[in-house]
Structure 1
Amino acid sequence: MIAKLISLSLRNRYIVLLISAVLFGWGLYSVQTNKVDAIPDLSENQVIVFTEWMGRSPQIIEDQITYPLVTNLQGLPQVKYVRGSSMFGMSFIYVIFEDETDVYWARTRVLERLNSVGNMLPEDVTPTLGPDGTGVGHILWYTLDAPGMDLGEQRAVQDWYVKFALQNVKGVSEVASFGGFQRQYQITLDPNKLTYYKLSVPQVIQAIRANNNEAGGRKFELSDIGYIIKTTGYLQSTEEIQNLAIATNNSIPVRVRDVASVQMTGESRLGIFDVNGEGEAVGGIVVMRYGENAEEVIDLVKVKMEEVAKGLPEGVKFNIVYDRSGLINESVDSIKKTLIEEMLVASVIVFLFLFHWRSALVIMIQLPLSVAIGFILLNAFGISSNIMSLTGIALSIGVIVDDAIVMVENSYRHLADASKGKPWED
């Protein structure tokens, strides 16, 4: 069979060269379009359901949120198993699907089932889907270098400006903020004063909610000009909250400041983010969407960061603390270096031993052609260029070199014997 294939190739040299040229061109295209990442994505095909119910203990979260959701999600098609995790104020459900299941089809089925949960969960508790990323989707971490700006202001810049801008980048699933303080108004009630004024906690909450709102009015015309009437009622300072009336006692209004203290503070934190022991910092984690090209997404994020930096407050700039593109570039450069070195070494050795430049040329053509065909197969099976796949190609180059040297030397010897009139030996 091999002899017939060799004989057919020798009789049709130009067709073989044409096929090789087509494969090499296809391989070059595959190299350019192949998804590049530093590490292979070996995570499970999962959909995360996150539920927040702050102030509740892990046992209550387990009984009233995690257990009902786990039992409800177990009947989905193509589900391998469902895992639940409960902690203080939060519940995480991990729905693991079969490997061949499309991740967006899986997210749709989970969302359909969550819509039918109904009255199984406590009031005002809404489960949400996690980002459509994987466990290795954290491709870039950054902090805000903002000397002279307090942590609350930095977190506000991150949450209300930087985060929204970076989330619009193609291939980004989520930008998770970390560090600093999330500003909020904190109202501390005095139970003795509530008892004295005969008020309850729900009354205070309802009064604040009712006064933190805007309402539209009607339109009226005056001198052929139309005017729209509306009320502006959003609370914008601690003084406005303190002056809100809760009830009336003998025609005297009871205000929030009479029963509570109001202050601007930060939300309770479970930890801090420190950079190089130099103090707290505020920043974000860029999470790549499932199945995207990590190198391309990182480049797009960096371009967007340059654009966003123009709108940051004076003196504020980005500080990238983790960038996977460095490891990606090193991996790609390693395979390039290995390929070039082995091509040159093998060609030189063959040329020195045989003194035949055409034999050396065969090896120099065979190596890049084999690697190009390998990238065609990587694209066909949806495998990215990562440390493991590139290492496999690098190792295979050694085998290809050994095979090429043996075959070229053997062919050269047979051709030399044939030129001297010696019979061909199988």
Structure 2
Amino acid sequence: MLNAIVDASLRYKVLVLVAFAVVIGLGVQAFRQVPVDAFPDVTPIQVSIYTESPGLAAEDVEKLLTTPIEGGMAGLPGVEEVRSVSLFGLSYVAVYFKDNVDIYFARRLVGEKLQDVKGRLPQGYGEPVLGPNSSGLGQVFWYTIESADKKLSAMDLRTLHDWTVRLILRTAPGVDDIVSWGGHQKQYQVQIDPRQLIKYGLSFKQVMERLTANNKQVGGQSINLGSEQYLVRGLGLVSTTKDIAGIVVAERNGAPIYVRDVAQVKEAPAPRFGAVTKDGQEAVLGIALARVNENAQAVVDAVKAKLVVAQAALPKGVTLVPNYDRAELVQKALRTAESSLVEGAILVAVILFLFLGEFRSAIVVIITLPLAMLIAFILMQQFGVSANLMSLAGLAIGTGMMVDGAVVLVENSFRLLSHARESGKPINKTHLILEAAREVINPIALRSSSSSSSSCRCSR
């Protein structure tokens, strides 16, 4: 079979050139489209489920939330394992699928099953939600939001990030979520005084019900006046602490009892269990999470473009400062691999020229290097392998293996042509090259296949 391929290649030279051009076109396209990252992502296919239940003990979280969710996910098709962690106020369940399962299909299965599980969870203990569609290597960009004049507090910076910066950056292509760390989450707190409740004969439940009932927008249909129609709106959403304090809780002897009579209303930070510091000072950190199987380089570029838009929307004196950029690591990894490939190709060319003493023979062998690499990129794109430090380093290490067969074939052809010239007989170059290829093609194929199988066993 191999002899027939060699024979056909020498007979149909135009067809070989066309195939060569097709491989170049497909290889260049694959090189541009193959995912680029610093390291290979070996994270298994998994879907995370989070349930927050503030104040609930870990044992109660395990019994009321984690166990029902974990049991509901165990029967899904393609599931290999279900793991869970129950913490104070938080339930975390991770569903691991087989590697051949599509991540979006897995998330859809978990989302559908989660709707059934929600009906078996006790009311008032939190709502389970799916975690971000990202992996362990999904954190591609870190930045902090800082106030140059230090006039804004950590709560002000966190509010700006959550309601301005985060919403803009989430629109970047390839970004699954923007995570906020550090600072203080702003809250409108109603701190009830139990002694005042006893004084007015009220309960916590009554205050909570009145707060909920007086914080709504309602529609009042419309009113027709002649030929005109007016829409009626009931504006009931509170916007300041003064609005909350002025809500009527109850009535005693014709006199209203307001929230301010039984509680203190103020803006205050939410309770937190951690913080972020930078250079010894408290900071607000944002983390961009890339979706699974996205090109890290492209995602970082998109985030940087949106970062400019977000910066323009911030007040004067507030800046967004990058702290970690995966693109820099990717570029360094690519430059390292590319330099190894170029240096290897140059070294091979020099050695061939020195030993063969003919420039054309060296060129024939050197051409196999970019051709083999383009074929490798085509296969990488088809099998979803990213261009990272390890895969490109493998190509660099395999430079010698790539040209090994071509070197043997060229040397054998060069030997037969030299013998023919020395004998003084008429030379048929095509026949001699075909004879030289038939002599070594089977040993070359056997040697390449054995080297490839050895490499596969070592990689496993």
Which TM-score band applies after superposition, normalised by the shorter structure? over 0.9
Q: Name the residue aligned to 2:301.
A: 299
Aligned 8 A contact 2:31 2:374 in 1: yes
> 1:316 and 1:377 mapped to 2: Cα distance?
47
Q: Name the residue aligned to 2:147.
A: 146
Q: Name the residue aligned to 1:186.
A: 189
Residue 84 in structure 1 maps to residue 93 in structure 2: no
The alpha-carbon distance between structure 1 residues 235 and 177, as it changes in their structure 2 partners (threshold 3 A), is same
* Aligned counterpart for 1:165 among listed residues 165, 168, 173: 168
SS at match of 2:205: helix
> 1:231 and 1:366 mapped to 2: Cα distance?
76
> 2:411 and 2:347 mapped to 1: Cα distance?
15
Deviations 1:270-299 (A, max 9, x none): 111112x24122232111112222211211
What amino acid sits opposite 1:63 in the alignment? K
Deviations 1:303-325 (A, max 9, x none): 12112222211122221111111
Deviations 1:123-144 (A, max 9, x none): 1332111122222111111111
> 2:330 and 2:411 mapped to 1: Cα distance?
37
Aligned 8 A contact 2:140 2:296 in 1: yes
Aligned 8 A contact 1:171 1:292 in 2: yes
Q: Name the residue aligned to 1:131.
A: 132
Residue 33 in structure 1 maps to residue 33 in structure 2: yes
The alpha-carbon distance between structure 1 residues 5 and 119, as it changes in their structure 2 partners (threshold 3 A), is closer
> 1:40 and 1:376 mapped to 2: Cα distance?
17
Aligned 8 A contact 1:143 1:318 in 2: yes
Aligned 8 A contact 2:118 2:128 in 1: no
The alpha-carbon distance between structure 1 residues 232 and 344, as it changes in their structure 2 partners (threshold 3 A), is same
Q: Name the residue aligned to 2:392.
A: 390
The alpha-carbon distance between structure 1 residues 361 and 118, as it changes in their structure 2 partners (threshold 3 A), is closer
Deviations 1:234-285 (A, max 9, x none): 222222222322112222222222222222111111111112x241222321
Aligned 8 A contact 1:172 1:288 in 2: yes
Deviations 1:181-234 (A, max 9, x none): 110011222222222221111111111111112222242345754332323222
Aligned 8 A contact 1:343 1:363 in 2: no
Residue 348 in structure 1 maps to residue 350 in structure 2: yes
Q: Name the residue aligned to 1:55.
A: 55
The alpha-carbon distance between structure 1 residues 219 and 46, as it changes in their structure 2 partners (threshold 3 A), is same
Q: Name the residue aligned to 1:195.
A: 198
What amino acid sits opposite 1:353 in the alignment? F
More off after superposition, 36-45 vs 190-199:
190-199
What amino acid sits opposite 2:68 in the alignment? P
More off after superposition, 26-35 vs 369-378:
26-35
Matches within 5 A, 1:309-388: 309-388=311-390
What amino acid sits opposite 2:385 in the alignment? I
More off after superposition, 399-408 vs 302-311:
399-408
Aligned 8 A contact 1:346 1:405 in 2: no
Q: Name the residue aligned to 1:290.
A: 292
Aligned 8 A contact 1:219 1:228 in 2: yes
Aligned 8 A contact 2:341 2:395 in 1: no
Residue 240 in structure 1 maps to residue 247 in structure 2: no
What amino acid sits opposite 2:262 in the alignment? V
Deviations 1:45-78 (A, max 9, x none): 1111111111111111111000111112111111
Q: Name the residue aligned to 2:233.
A: 230
TM-superposed CA distance for 1:415, in Å, is 2.1
Aligned 8 A contact 1:342 1:401 in 2: no
> 2:359 and 2:423 mapped to 1: Cα distance?
23
> 2:226 and 2:8 mapped to 1: Cα distance?
95
Residue 270 in structure 1 maps to residue 248 in structure 2: no
Deviations 1:102-157 (A, max 9, x none): 11111111111111125421213321111222221111111113223221221111
SS at match of 2:282: coil
> 2:322 and 2:405 mapped to 1: Cα distance?
46
TM-superposed CA distance for 1:409, in Å, is 3.2
Matches within 5 A, 1:65-84: 65-84=65-84
The alpha-carbon distance between structure 1 residues 118 and 402, as it changes in their structure 2 partners (threshold 3 A), is closer
> 1:388 and 1:185 mapped to 2: Cα distance?
51
Deviations 1:61-102 (A, max 9, x none): 111000111112111111111111111111111011111111
Q: Name the residue aligned to 1:17.
A: 17
TM-superposed CA distance for 1:329, in Å, is 1.3
Q: Name the residue aligned to 1:207.
A: 210
Give the TM-score taking structure 1 as reference length.
0.94
Aligned 8 A contact 2:52 2:91 in 1: yes
